[in-house]
Amino acid sequence: LGLENTPADQYSDVTQQLAGYVGAGVPVALNFGLAAIGRITPAVALAQTGMDLAIWAQTVSWNGAINETTRLLVQRPRPYVYSRPAEGRNFANYTSFYSGHTSFSAASSVALVMIMLARGAPLLLTLGSILTAHLLIFSTGLFRVLAGRHFLSDVIVGALAGTLIALAVSW
């Protein structure tokens, strides 16, 4: 595909957004699905959904704050600045380390897995969440590198940071 691939940039936006929709949506569907089949009351479903979404929202909020702080401190240029130095005049092109798209995908996806484990979700749903997390994190990072927006180290650190933040908030 080559670097600086425009479709890869668009795909990374899609995979990042999908991680958010899945991370926030699956707990809602699980809780209200359990209420619909009579396993829990609607009041319990609402309370659990509120707690799950609070954990998810805290995770992605902390992830965003830590990511932006790190970017401001590190000031690493994006890969394309090295081949086109004039692009370096734009401050936004000095926010490569670490990948916000990848860290968001990891934070959202790992938060979902932790929520599923804490809720004692059915095994198939938990395994599906784990598989989805791996796919979304990997594909988001891959697309960010192919788009020429990040170095490999940016997406690896982004995946680790998002994962660790989700684990810390869940704990």
Per the CB < 8 A criterion, the answer to whether 122 and 116 are in contact is: no
Q: What is the mean pLDDT of residues 80-106?
A: 87
Residue 147 DSSP label: T
Give the burial string for 94-117 (b: 16+ CB within 10 Å, else e).
Answer: bbbbbbbbbbbbbbbbbbbbbbbe
Check whether 88 has a pLDDT greater than 90. Answer: no
> Which percentage of the chain shows pLDDT scores above 90?
80
Check whether 2 has a pLDDT greater than 70. Answer: no
Q: What span, in angstroms and rounded, lies between the C-alpha atoms of 24 and 17?
A: 11
- In this prediction, residue 69 has a pLDDT band, given cuts at 50, 70 and 90, of very high
The structure's pTM equals 0.92
Out of 1-10, 71-80, 130-139, 146-155, pick the least confident: 1-10
